[in-house]
A and B are shown apart, each in its own frame.
Chain A
Amino acid sequence: MTVVLDNAKPRVSTPPTDANHCYHCGEPCEDERIVSDGKAFCCTGCKTVYEILSENKLDTFYALEATPGKTLRAKANADYAFLDQPEVVQKLVDYEDDQLIKVSFKLPAIHCTSCIWLIEHLYKIDEGVLKSTVNFLAQEAHFQLNPQKITLRQLVELLDKIGYAPQLQMEQLTQGGAVVKDRTFSYQMGVAGFAFGNIMLLSFPEYLGLEESAFQRWFGYLNIVLSIPVLVFSAKSYWQSAWNSLRQGQWNIDVPISLGIAVLFLRSVYEIVSETGAGYLDSLAGLVFFLLIGRWFQLRTYNHLSFERNYQSYFPIAVLRWQDGIFASATLDTLRVGDLVRIQHNGLVPADGVLEAGTAQLDYSFVTGEAVPIEKKAGDRVFAGGRQVGGQIDVRLNKAVSQSYLTELWNDEAFQKNYVPGSSVLLNRIGRFFTPVVLTVAIFTLGYWWPIDHRIAMHAFSAVLIIACPCALALSVPFTLGNALRLLGKMGVYIKHTHVIESLHDVDTIVFDKTGTLTSTEQVKDIQYLGDALSVEVQQYIKSVVAQSSHPISRLLAGLWPDVAVLPVSQFEEFAGKGIRASVAGQEVKIGSAGFVQPHPASPGTWVKVEGTCYGPFVVRHSFREGIANLLKEWSQQYDLYLLSGDNSAARTELAQYFPDAHLHFDQSPHDKLEFIKSLQAAGKRVMMIGDGLNDAGALQQSEVGMVVTEDVNNFTPACDIILSSRQFADLPKVMKYQVNTIYLVYAAFGLAFIYNVVGLSYAVQGLLSPLIAAILMPLSSITIAVFGLLGSNYLFTKIGSDKSHLN
């Protein structure tokens, strides 16, 4: 099995000798090129890592894989002062005493062999690290530290420095400690497999028709002893599930399974004790073993992804709070109403409050869906979740973190939805009629034989219940859909559970979010001019001025007219958060926000003023993802499409070609989105929501299927059913088609399983079912169904994948 951890951007390995690519991360050295030790680096961060590693004789890092690092160009300086507080440390570590600290971190930067090597050789850099072990698939590292030599803060700072900053979010404060892994399932499988093998062995005399009665009796009793752990321990979850469903007055698929197991055991014990036969205990153990294998196959999911995240995994673990005359690091759970917090560039506003100092440029695109950062001045209210872009701001909190406008969404009942693992809608639908049919056949058989021979009647009756046990049927879903799930995961479509594929089959309505979902937040943005036509002179003036500035909007403006020449600029002045003033060819040129340039009428966007005449506005637009047009066109024929955007209606005209006008909704709050999904469901629609941010969290949770599109699957994604890597967005129709086809495959597997059942039943009703036939038929049917599901789903996948070049 080749393991590929999705890191959103496919890395093209470049030879480390290339002078124009960073030796550490392999990115091209575009803006900066630092040479050290004869090697080129794209930024000081990468160079620092190289220096630390070579100082500590850790060069193997670069030998194992070419350019194994990740660029540190965009690395922000993180403050880990909060890790000095004992109560925080206590919440993070798994174990702590004077001599030893055990702690586990998720390091999202882990992506290759070199990473494993480096993290596991951390003791070479700092001898306080006693042991470090990486779990690659989970992107986790476990550390054992000597607290006399290294503190937790120093460890985290070291990791941060070499480019493996641990993921530290608010949720770690509330979870607390190490999660104890539930390994019961593995034990159950082990016991069932053990019993299966040994019972088969002891049944050999029976298979071969040997008449050595002394052994047979003794073997029979041994078999009973061996099968008891299977019955009580391994099959436990089936009893529980069947009992739960019976108590609710339903017949799920586990009812006939449990019935079959029970009858198998009772009949076998009766045969062995009364010395009338050898029983079917081998079939019993095999059946449970196969069922567990199927479940195991279904449950193997993505270790490094979390489908259950809420706002607590979005917020940081600590912020700077004004305390005793200084801004000191404080964890989020200790924040109270009235606290003054300082937020640096790229920091998140942790709770609702009032801006006290500084000019805020808050990017709410992830929280509300508004594409353009909002400017706030001292005295304005700010809401939790906004990301500050620019200088630092001070905010006086007037709500607790959990009571904020944004986080209140999680109090909605949609988040109380209970998720029952292991139940398949499709299978239970079959179970509902399967059980009555089996019971009818069994009673009919009993009624037919009873007047002829009581013994044969009981024999046939129990044989029907045994052979009808829908083991093969129950295996069709885990093997077919479980395999489909894994294949899609390789493509970058991560599905939480096989149920999701079943629910997708029923979806008839698809609701999109705009910002971050249909549009990309990472791709190059467009800037659009909405005013009257500009003369070449004005274009020249604008281009000349913006060419001097590194502001993102200036750079977009500078690229607007490639053929226009640049003039010399004098008296250039930049006002942070407002705009630029300069003089070009004796003319005063002002470029900036409406407040700075003061046009009439004022509207959002960027304005230009040349000697008293205003032009504008220029509006920044997120560009739509590639393949959107095809996707929407294709789906509009099969599904009802809706758009819910938290943004203003600027993109209405553009979107109107894909969505019916009445289906476009703008300025939607997170609650509006949730309510909208509820109203669709109330109208009998089955909804799939495709979103990306916290503002979609409610809608994602409420809808039948919630899909999150993300640029980097390691980034925060709200709780959902499917995580889609944005590269795969254009292929969504194919993915949907594949999922629908696999459901048909499951139906075909059902058909196959029924054939086996009918063949078996034809023996059973005649009272001819021998342990040998049962022992052959049961594994045979299970294995054919498993193989059928695996091959079928693979075949369908190659069919959709054949025209895809980037499929690994």
Chain B
Amino acid sequence: MKIIFVLIIVSLIVALGFLGAFLWAVKSGQYDDDYTPSVRMLFDDEEAKNNNK
């Protein structure tokens, strides 16, 4: 059962990694606007469209 100690430490490190990712995401402004990106991703690729015309 000694392996539990290792596993716990590993799981904590993974969790800390996610916490770090979240803090970074907030810091880089990803949570400042939670609506526009959802629209932006639906825009068609410009070049393809113009070629079709």
Which A residues have a C-beta under 8 Å from some C-beta of B?
Answer: 3, 57, 60, 64, 113, 116-117, 120-121, 133-138, 181, 183, 186-187, 190-191, 194, 197-198, 201-202, 212, 215, 218-219, 222
Contact = CB atoms under 8 A, between A and B. Distances in A.
A150 B19 CA distance: 42
A198 B15 contact: yes
Contact of A136 (B22, B27, B29, B39): B39
A191 B20 CA distance: 10
Nearest to B26: A186
A186 B31 contact: yes
Chain B interface, DSSP helix/strand/loop, else mixed: helix
Contacts of A138: 33
Contacts of A120: 40, 43
Contacts of A201: 11
B31 A194 contact: no
Contact of A60 (B8, B33, B40, B44): B44
B23 interface: yes
Contacts of B44: 60
B33 A135 contact: yes
A186 B40 CA distance: 24
Contacts of B49: 60
B33 A121 contact: no
A181 B33 CA distance: 12
Contacts, number: 61
B8 A222 contact: yes
24 contacts: A60-B44, A60-B46, A64-B43, A113-B42, A116-B39, A120-B43, A135-B32, A135-B33, A135-B36, A136-B35, A136-B36, A136-B39, A137-B34, A137-B35, A138-B33, A181-B29, A190-B23, A190-B26, A194-B16, A194-B18, A194-B19, A197-B15, A215-B1, A222-B12
B40 A121 contact: no
Given A136-B35, A202-B8, A190 B22 contact: yes
A138 B32 CA distance: 10
Contact of A134 (B5, B16, B36): B36
Contacts of B32: 135, 181
Q: Which 8 pairs from chain A and chain B are nearest by CB?
A: A136-B36, A135-B33, A194-B19, A186-B26, A190-B22, A137-B35, A183-B26, A136-B35
Interface residues of B, number: 29
Select the residue from A64, A194, A218 with max chain B CB neighbours within 10 A.
A194
Interface in B1-25: 1, 4-5, 8, 11-12, 15-16, 18-19, 22-23
B8 A136 contact: no
A394 B41 CA distance: 51
A442 to B, nearest CB: 35
A690 to B, nearest CB: 31
Contacts of A212: 1
A761 to B, nearest CB: 35
A222 B12 CA distance: 10
Contact of A3 (B4, B8, B35): B35
B10 to A, nearest CB: 13
Contacts of A134: 36
Interface of B: 1, 4-5, 8, 11-12, 15-16, 18-19, 22-23, 26-27, 29, 31-36, 39-40, 42-44, 46, 49-50
Given A60-B44, A183-B27, A198-B12, A113 B22 contact: no
A2 to B, nearest CB: 10
Nearest to A115: B39
Contacts of A222: 8, 12
B43 A117 contact: yes
Contacts of B27: 183
Contacts of B26: 183, 186-187, 190
A805 to B, nearest CB: 27
B19 A190 contact: yes
Contacts of A190: 19, 22-23, 26
Contacts of A218: 5
Given A60-B43, A135-B32, A137-B33, 18 more contacts: A3-B35, A60-B49, A113-B39, A116-B36, A116-B39, A120-B40, A120-B43, A134-B36, A136-B35, A136-B36, A181-B29, A183-B26, A190-B23, A191-B19, A194-B19, A201-B11, A212-B1, A219-B8
B40 A116 contact: yes
A64 B46 CA distance: 13
Contacts of B15: 194, 197-198
A514 to B, nearest CB: 38
Nearest to B12: A198
Contact of B4 (A57, A197, A215): A215
Nearest to A1: B35
A461 to B, nearest CB: 33
A489 to B, nearest CB: 14
Nearest to B21: A190
Contacts of B12: 198, 222
Contacts of A187: 23, 26
A135 B29 CA distance: 12
A715 B15 CA distance: 47
Nearest to B5: A218
Contacts of B8: 202, 219, 222
A288 to B, nearest CB: 15
B19 A137 contact: no
Contacts of B43: 60, 64, 117, 120
A202 B4 CA distance: 11
Contacts of A137: 33-36
Select the residue from B1, B18, B40, B50 with max chain A CB neighbours within 10 A.
B40
Contacts of A121: 46
A60 to B, nearest CB: 7
A57 B52 CA distance: 12
B28 to A, nearest CB: 10
A271 to B, nearest CB: 20
B48 to A, nearest CB: 11
Contacts of B4: 215
B24 to A, nearest CB: 10
B27 to A, nearest CB: 7
A182 to B, nearest CB: 11
Contacts of B5: 218
Contacts of A197: 15
A56 to B, nearest CB: 11
B47 to A, nearest CB: 10
A138 B39 CA distance: 15
Select the residue from B36, B44, B46 with max chain A CB neighbours within 10 A.
B36
Contacts of A135: 32-33, 36
Select the residue from B11, B23, B39 with max chain A CB neighbours within 10 A.
B39
A329 to B, nearest CB: 33
A190 B1 CA distance: 32
A120 B29 CA distance: 18
Contacts of B1: 212, 215
Contacts of A215: 1, 4
A137 B33 CA distance: 7
Contacts of B50: 57
Contacts of B34: 137
A141 B17 CA distance: 33
Contacts of A194: 15-16, 18-19, 22
A316 to B, nearest CB: 28
B45 to A, nearest CB: 11
